[in-house]
Structure 1
Amino acid sequence: MTADIIESDTPRLRLRQWRDRDLAPFFELAGDPQVMEFLLPLPTRADSDAAVARTRSRIAENGWGFWAVEHKASGEFMGFTGLNSPAAELPFSPCVEIGWRFARKWWGHGYASEAARAALQVGFGQLGLREIVAFTAWNNTRSSAVMERIGMKEDEDGAFDHPLVPEGHALRRHRLYRIARPQG
């Protein structure tokens, strides 16, 4: 079954379904050790393309997911932002998470926060979600800062060891953030 695909625009960005032309810049982004500092591991091109195929499939099935983010003025692929139901069994499952990843070229301009706010609007407005979570490696201060800028609050009791990160690895410990649908 195929759902109607939800897309979203902000003043500077377009959150949309992935296109074949996104594959090469996504692989470049995913191969940047600085972008991937808190993620495991650096993918091969086949792994990167397979991740995009899975993401496209989820969007086609659900109508939403981790959308490709396009810079409206230039038409360039920037990265992704969106919503996802994690496949891993997490201590707070079932849940819908918000996530993002942008090429370094786009860092420091508020794009991640702008795109994430649009994803939250879809989640709360169109999908009617009651809560959205986010999580990141304990020491990923850049992502934690975005989470806080978009109104998420750290769950003080929510620290957890991510089950997909090997035991003893420096990135295993994660922080959990939450945001509830606004009342009114």
Structure 2
Amino acid sequence: MQKTTGIHSICVSAQTVVHRIARPVRYLASSLSSTAAEYTILLTLNAITGGVFVPVVIARTISCTINYLMNRKVFASQGSVIRTGIRYAIVAAVVMMLSYTFTNAGVMAGLSLWSASVLTNSSLFIVNYLGQSFLVFGRPYDALDRARTFIKNYSTFIAKVQQQVTQIFACHLPKFSVENTALAHIHLPQAA
């Protein structure tokens, strides 16, 4: 009976780990596929126009549309297409502006368009994931509740630490009076 319980707890632990990493892995897969489309479009348009702004905007818009449609399934969105679509557009616009700014800065610094874009988008991966997880497909009340709980727990922790420090000083501070220290018995020469 003991072995069954141990095996069961291992299986439950394994399921928990798989459940926790499943969403980020699915998000990574959707991001990589939309990124492949974005790079193909970006490099093609750059070769045609020679610019950076128009290719980045068009490529990002198409890849964001692909990414939004896939991520509705990744995050198991239960919100309406219009509401999550508007939120996604806002997050995507912010990420697009950051992408253009950093990609252009990389190109001006001497990087190739491709390497500047890869570096920029890799850096923005976490920002985009968190934005979609909490702001787009997550329920805002859940994120708000988590923030409130964190602040409440942090405030309680600080109050307890403050109380403990106050008690320590109250108990031990009277023992450290000037008369009880070794410094009280040192006679310093007085100035004449």
Instruction: Return the TM-score normalized by structure 2.
Output: 0.24
Structure ranking higher in helix proportion: 2
Larger Rg over CA atoms: 2
Structure ranking higher in strand proportion: 1
